[in-house]
Amino acid sequence: MVTTLSNDLFHNFPAKFDSVADLHVANTDDLQRVDSIGNKTAEKLQHER
């Protein structure tokens, strides 16, 4: 999953998720709360898990 994100996007995740486990169970709506993550990227991330 990490390889599909730029460093800038990757560094936005800790502001919204307390742990890797929280990120792993996040749905597309949760993922879209991260700055610069839209629906298309959120769906791609879910698919790659």
Domain boundaries, the chain: 2-48
Q: How far apart are CA 15 and CA 47, in angstroms?
A: 22
Separation CA 16–CA 41 (nearest Å): 16
Q: How far apart are CA 42 and CA 33, in angstroms?
A: 10
* Whole-number pLDDT of residue 7: 82
Tokens of 48: 């790659």
pLDDT digits (tens, 9 = 90+) for 1-44: 455 678 888 888 888 999 989 988 999 999 999 998 999 999 98
Q: What's the pLDDT score for residue 1?
A: 45
pLDDT, position 4: 66
CA distances from 9 to 34, 44, 46 (A): 8, 14, 15
pTM of the model: 0.78
**Tally of CB atoms within 10 A around 45:** 20
| Distance separating alpha carbons of residues 3 and 29, to the nearest angstrom | 21
pLDDT at 48 over 50: yes
